[in-house]
Copies of this chain bind each other. A is one copy, B any other.
Amino acid sequence: MSDLPLSGVRVVDLTRILSGPFCAMILGDLGADVVKIESPKGGDPVRGQGHIVDGLSWYFAGFNRNKRSVALDLRRPEGLAVLERLLAGADILTENYRPGVLDEMGLTPARLAQINPRLIVVSVNGYGSTGPYANRPAFDFIAQAMSGYMATNGTPATGPLRTGPPLTDLIAGLYAALGAVSALRARDAGGPAQRVEASMMMSILSMMAYLSSGALATGRDPVTTGNDHPIVAPYGLFRAADGDIAVAPSTDVFVARFLGEIGLKHLLDDPRFADNARRVENRAELNRLVDDALAHGTQAHWIERLNRAGVPCGKVQRLTEALADPQVAAQEMVLEVPHPGHGTVKMTGFPIKFSETPLQLRHPTPDLGAQTDAVLAEAGYGPDEITGLRDRGLLG
């Protein structure tokens, strides 16, 4: 077995909730040793959220694998001293406090450089650590609203719509993980250890693609169009004999192939549908004709046939269907992970595939403080010192 990409990298992880823990989990998935520091009083609040089975939150388990847990009271100077000793041997510190909180704890950039001049500090926050909103508390729903993203999600009837998953947390966490690995490479190539951050609002704003470029070019806002493409037809959901299929022929070539496969090639000779502009104009009528043609076959039939012809096509799957999809199985995207004392937990897998060093589940999600003693021992604490710290209520 080859080493993993980040084998040998040590991360001290102060994050909680989702954006920061997702960043730290990705570093752990890539092979880093991630030590999650949690409050001895209950730990990360997500331990109590989502569906709890046999005493373990599957939401927590799915987003905190490949970490070890140390329960340590950081509100007391003696706890902070332990943290500083752990940081002395670390490569990366991850945190998602509100900007300024690390400083308030005494962990200023100057102090951190004193403790460990090679330490890379990775922050995930709501709005960035500078600017008028830097001190605002972060929350996915608000980042979706402030970034303009919500205004592009929905239909004219719904108005601005929050998307279901907390995507701004996850995308910011992913950017932060990329920042961490990039900073590590730069440091190991002789550059400085540095601070890296990603924010929820700016991360989603960077993903608006043609919507942001269009808004910047014209000064006008995009119009929400639901499942219709703003400027392409046919495109969207259509009705096969046993349910909807999504079809996305993006250019004239694929429109011709699509209409050919469903027996409607003649429509391209019809003045109402001869080019894309006219098809958009007569979308309702075109969609009706397509629905009629598709009614003669099942979803499976059309999906197989259209994809074979190169026309992107698929089913709108419920989430449980997607999780049971054969492609998801082939990609090992649902893992079944034994968690001693809590049964076997199912969680989504590793979306980055490496040919020589495939990612792996090295540590199931730890119980709170499960590795407190082991990690402190590695940092040089003797058994008596650990007992003393525990007696004084600093450890969990």
Q: Is A377 interfacial (CB-CB < 8 Å)?
A: no
| A360 CB contacts on chain B under 8 angstroms | none
Contact (Cβ within 8 A) B59 A353: no
Chain A interface residue number, banded: 35 or more
- Residue A256 interfacial (CB < 8 Å): no
Contacts of A333 in B (CB 8 A): 202, 205-206
Task: Decide if A158 touches B160 in the complex (CB within 8 Å).
Answer: no
Q: Which of A135-157 contact B (CB under 8 A)?
A: 135-155, 157
Interface contact B328-A215, CB-CB below 8 Å: no
* Given known contacts A5-B186, A330-B130, A147 and B58 CB-to-CB distance under 8 angstroms: no
Contact residues in B for A189 (Cβ distance below 8 Å): 3, 8, 188
Contact of A148 among B8, B182, B307, B319 (CB under 8 A): B319
A184 interfacial by beta-carbon distance below 8 Å = yes
A222 to B322, CA, bound (A): 13
Whether the Cβ atoms of B185 and A188 lie closer than 8 Å is yes
The reply to whether B146 and A179 contact each other, CB–CB distance below 8 Å, is: no
Contact of A184 among B45, B49, B185 (CB under 8 A): B185
How many identical subunits does the complex contain? 2
Roughly how many angstroms separate A103 CA and B226 CA in the complex, as a whole number?
Answer: 38
Would you call B165 and A174 a contact (CB within 8 A)?
no
Contact A181 B183 (CB under 8 A): no
Mark out the residues of chain A between 244 and 274 whose CB falls within 8 Å of any chain B CB in the assembled complex.
246, 248, 250-251
Q: Contacts A133-B327, A139-B312: A319 and B211 contacting too (C-beta < 8 A)?
A: yes
Q: Is the CB of B317 within 8 A of A147?
A: yes
Contacts of A205 in B (CB 8 A): 322-323, 328, 333, 348, 351
Residues of B within 8 A of A181 (CB): 178, 181-182, 185
Known pairs A348-B206, A357-B186; A136 contacts B198 (CB<8 A): no
Is the Cβ of A145 less than 8 Å from the Cβ of B246?
yes
CB distance from A243 to the nearest CB of B (A): 11
Instruction: Report, nearest first, the 6 A-B pairs whose CB atoms are least far apart.
Output: A131-B330, A148-B322, A152-B164, A139-B312, A148-B319, A51-B217
